């Protein structure tokens, strides 16, 4: 009887330690850390600032590419902006996104539909799937464009092909 009681207490304490030791359980996952982890783009801070932060570090544009981050601008409805990773291109005006903290607080969504509704077909106005209504959201969201995960290459900068030295391995 005492052994069973001790085992139960040990189990409760162990489970309690796991929740305290794992901050992800206690916190809410935000879109920026999720997009950074999935895309490899090393930008930090509010999602609304990613577009400006990418200047000189990453190429940016208005064309969707798999693995690129779609940067949503700050707006009245989204004061902190939003970032999401393109998981698949359906066509020039529709992509699938992976992102966090959109439909559900702290939730992660995979392959959700996003469509370009901008008049110039430049991804500056986007409607995104919203889980609670199982459809595209009723409002469109202002977007800046796409941040591409490849590091920015400075035009004309020298590229080192191989290290020169005495020991070249074969010769």
Among the listed residues 71, 101, 103, the one whose alpha carbon sits nearest the alpha carbon of residue 84: 71
Among the listed residues 72, 70, 78, the one whose alpha carbon sits nearest the alpha carbon of residue 38: 70
| Residue pLDDT, tens place only, 43-87 | 999 999 999 999 999 999 999 999 999 999 999 999 999 999 999
Query: What torsion do the CA atoms of 75, 111, 145, 43 make, to the nearest 10 degrees?
Result: 80
Set out the domains of the chain in order of their start, with CATH numbers: 29-151 (3.90.1720.10)
What's the chain's average pLDDT?
A: 84
| Residue pLDDT, tens place only, 97-127 | 999 999 999 999 999 999 999 999 999 999 9
Q: What is the CA radius of gyration of the chain?
A: 22
- The whole-model pTM stands at 0.75
pLDDT bin (cut points 50, 70, 90) of residue 19 is very low
């Amino acid at each position: 009887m005492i052994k069973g009681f001790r085992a139960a207490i040990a189990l409760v304490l162990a489970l309690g330690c796991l929740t305290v030791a794992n901050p992800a359980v206690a916190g809410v996952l935000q879109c920026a850390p999720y997009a950074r982890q999935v895309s490899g783009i090393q930008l930090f801070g509010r999602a609304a600032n990613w577009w400006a932060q990418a200047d000189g570090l990453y190429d940016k544009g208005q064309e969707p590419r798999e693995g690129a981050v779609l940067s949503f601008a700050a707006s009245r409805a989204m004061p902190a902006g939003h970032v999401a990773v393109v998981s698949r291109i359906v066509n020039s005006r529709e992509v699938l996104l992976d992102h966090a903290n959109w439909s559900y607080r702290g939730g992660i969504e995979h392959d959700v539909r996003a469509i370009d509704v901008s008049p110039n077909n430049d991804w500056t106005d986007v409607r995104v799937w919203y889980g609670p209504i199982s459809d595209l959201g009723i409002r469109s969201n202002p977007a800046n464009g796409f941040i591409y995960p490849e590091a920015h290459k400075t035009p004309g900068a020298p590229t080192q092909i191989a290290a020169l030295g005495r020991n070249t391995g074969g010769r």
